[in-house]
Amino acid sequence: DEALGGLTVALDAATDEAPGTSAYQRLRTAVEQSVRILVDHLPAVTLLLRVRGNSDVELAALKRRRVIDDKLTLLVSDAVAEGALRDDIAPDLISRLLFGTVNSLVEWYRPGGPVDADVLAPTIASLAFDGLAVSEGGELG
């Protein structure tokens, strides 16, 4: 509940941001906040990501995760519709790839290690939204 509660609050904040904020910016904010929540609640998120639905408690957690996944996919769909994201990749696939990247942190991130959340969150968002490539002119993207 600890991890899902934090993510739900962050996602609700991202989807309810001030008028005039693009879906793209709300999605980028959701990605960054998800990283921070994962880092702040690493043991709980690690456990949550291992849930397989073997008990009523696990089934309830999976149901809440699906609701979050659906909200994230809707946010991606909105960003695609406004023309900020590619439309040749299904929004649910984009969402799974984005948040699969975030969730993979449980496998290697260590608190107190060389990278903290204030560096990690914008770095993951930049990688996801801006890419790794440098153009011929030396510019990013």
80-95 per-position pLDDT tens digit: 999 999 999 999 999 9
In order of start, what are the domains of the chain with their CATH numbers? 2-130 (1.10.357.10)
Each residue of 25-50: b (16+ CB within 10 Å) or e?
A: ebbbbbbbbbbebbbebbebbbebee
Residue 141 pLDDT class (50, 70, 90 cuts): low
Strand partners, 140: 134
- Does the pTM of the predicted model rise above 0.85? yes
Tokens, residue 77: 């769909």
Could you report the per-residue pLDDT of 28-65, keeping only the tens digit for each? 999 999 999 999 999 988 888 888 888 998 899 889 88
